[in-house]
Amino acid sequence: MTGRIDGKALIRAIEKMATLTDQSAPPFTRRAFTETYLRGREWLKSHFETSGLDVKLDAAANLIGRMEGLDRDRPPIMIGSHTDTVTGGGRYDGILGVLTGAAVASYLHRSGQSLRFPLEVVDFLSEEVSDYGAVSCVGSRAIVGTLSQEMLLRNNPNGETLKDAIKRMGGNPDLLNAPLKKRGDIAAYMELHIEQGPVLDTAGIPIGVVSGIVAIRRVKITVRGQANHAGTTPMKARNDALVGASQMISLVHDLALDWQGSFPLVATVGRIEIFPNSPNVIPGLCIMDLEVRSISEEEIDTFLDQVEKAASDTSAKCHVSVSFETASDAYPALCSENIIATIKEACSNLGYEYLEMPSGAGHDAMHVASIAPIGMIFVPSVKGLSHCSEEFTKEEHIIAGAEVLLESLLLLNEKLDVSYAKLLK
C-alpha cells in the first residue's frame, strides 16, 4: 500500500529548510552552532509539533520529537539524522532523514494510528565535522557516552569550547560526563539518508538497504620546517614545510589508490593550515587533517602504518619533521540483520526494487549502534553528488524512501512486540 506519506508536504518542508541558509556562504550552508542553525531549529521545532510530536532538547542539545505509544513504559523506536551541513552542503544530506521522520509521525498523527512503542524523531546536534577540534556526530556521541571531556574542552577558532557551544544551543553539558542512554533505552533505530554516492543512481534502483557503516579515523599530520625569507634563502638551504606537506598529500593519495587490502579503503587530506601563510615567507609549519575510511579497522591500522613509515623519507628529503596524532576514531557499525530483513520486507510489500550495500559515509547511526539495533535506508543521489550545492535527489525517490521508512516502522513495531529480546542481541 502506497500513498500514505503526504509527499507534497514533505517536499515543501525540504524546500523551506533550504531557505534557512547562511547568506554569506555558498548554498546551502547551515553550520551547527550558528545563528542560521538556530533559526533552522526554531522552524523544525514548530514543524515537529505540527506533525504531532512533543518536542524537547536533551542535555546534548539534540532536538527530539516524541509520540507516545500504547505502552508508555516501552523504550522508543527512534528515527533520526541531522540538519547541519558542511559549508556549501546540499539540501538533502541529513535533512531528508529528519524531515521524513516527521512525515512518518505526521501520517500516524493524521490517521489516528498508535504504535505499541513510543516513537522519537531526533535531529542530532552537529553530525558534520565541527569547528571544535574536528569533532563530528556531537549529539549521537553524547547519547552513547563517547563524547569525551577532552572533546568538550576543544576550542573553535574564536576560542569558544565545545562545552560552551552546547550550552549556547540549549543543552546542559554538565550532564555529559555519562551516557544519556544505555542499552535497552532505545528499542531500535532507523535512519533514512541520501546515498551520497553514485551506485543507486547508476543502477537505476530506488532503495538501498544498508548492511553496515565504515570506520572513520581522522589524523592530524603536523609538518614542521623553518620559516625564512623567501627571497634570500637558497633553494637547497630551505626547510619548507609546505613542500613536505604536499609530498605527504601525494603519498597518502598514491597509497590509497594502490590499496590491495581485503576491503576497500579511501583516504583524503581535506584541510590544511599553513603558517605564516605569507607570499614572501617560506612556510615553517603545516597542519593537515587526514581522514581514512574502511569497514575494517585493521585495514586502517595497516594503511596508517604504511603512511608513517613512508613519512620518514619525506622528512629526510625535505629537511622537515612529520608527526601524527589521532583526532577522532569512529568504529565500524553493522546493521541489525533483523532490521535489514524488515526493510527488505517493506520494499517487497511496496513493490520497490532494492540493493543491499555498505555505507561509505559516516552517520549518527554508527554511534547509536553501540547501544541499540540499527538499520539504514538509502535513496539515490543524482550523479553521486553530495557535500556540495549541486546535491540532488528526485522527488519520487524521496517519497519512495519515506514510504519504505513508514512501512519498516509499522513492521518493526509488530516484530519488536513478539521478538524484542531477540532484536536487542
Using the 3D structure, point to which of 275, 305, 330 is the last residue of a domain. Answer: 330
- Assigned C-alpha cell, 237: 638551504
Cα angle 98-101-103, degrees, rounded to a multiple of 5 = 115
**Nearest Cα to 67, choosing from 130, 112, 133?**
112
How many structural domains are present in the chain?
2
Q: Are residues 47 and 72 in the same domain?
A: yes
Q: Are residues 256 and 143 in the same domain?
A: no
Q: Greater confidence, 241 or 73? A: 241
Mean pLDDT score across all residues of the chain: 95
pLDDT (0 to 100) of residue 340 = 97
Using the 3D structure, point to which of 315, 330, 345 is the last residue of a domain. Answer: 330
CA-only gyration radius of the chain, Å: 23
pLDDT (0 to 100) of residue 75 = 95
State which H helix or E strand residue 158 sits in. Answer: none
| Per-residue buried b or exposed e for 215-230, using 16+ beta carbons within 10 Å of the residue's own CB | bbbbbbbbbbbbbbee
Res. 329: pLDDT tops 90:
no
Using the 3D structure, point to which of 273, 304, 330 is the last residue of a domain. Answer: 330
Which structural domain, as residue segments, surrounds residue 106?
A: 7-213+332-423
Q: Are residues 389 and 324 in the same domain?
A: no
15 lies in some domain = yes
Answer whether 104's CB lies under 8 Å from 48's CB: no
Calculate the alpha carbon distances from 417 to 181, 338, 421 in Å: 21, 13, 9
Mean local confidence (pLDDT), 135-141:
96
Q: Are residues 31 and 180 in the same domain?
A: yes
**Per-residue pLDDT tens digits for 63-79:** 999 999 998 889 999 99
Residue 308: which CATH number?
3.30.70.360
Q: Are residues 310 and 390 in the same domain?
A: no
Q: Are residues 225 and 171 in the same domain?
A: no
30 lies in some domain = yes
**What are the E-state strand segments in 50-199?**
54-57, 63-67, 77-81, 119-123, 188-194
- Assigned C-alpha cell, 308: 608513517
Q: What percent of the chain lies above the pLDDT cut of 70?
A: 97
300 lies in some domain = yes
Q: Are residues 315 and 336 in the same domain?
A: no
164 lies in some domain = yes
Q: What is the 3-state secondary structure (H, E, C) of 292-314?
A: EEECCHHHHHHHHHHHHHHHHHH
Q: Are residues 131 and 32 in the same domain?
A: yes
**Per-residue pLDDT tens digits for 3-17:** 899 999 999 999 999
Q: Are residues 67 and 208 in the same domain?
A: yes
Q: Are residues 123 and 136 in the same domain?
A: yes
Mean local confidence (pLDDT), 157-184:
97
2 lies in some domain = no
Mean local confidence (pLDDT), 197-222:
96
Residue 128: which CATH number?
3.40.630.10
Res. 420: pLDDT tops 60:
no
pLDDT (0 to 100) of residue 418 = 59
Q: Are residues 204 and 227 in the same domain?
A: no
Calculate the alpha carbon distances from 18 to 32, 84, 383 in Å: 15, 11, 20
Which residues, at least 6 apart from 361, have a Cβ–Cβ distance to it below 8 Å? 193, 196, 197, 213, 214, 386
Q: Are residues 146 and 233 in the same domain?
A: no
pLDDT (0 to 100) of residue 331 = 83
pLDDT (0 to 100) of residue 424 = 46
Answer whether 300's CB lies under 8 Å from 268's CB: no
1 lies in some domain = no
pLDDT (0 to 100) of residue 95 = 98
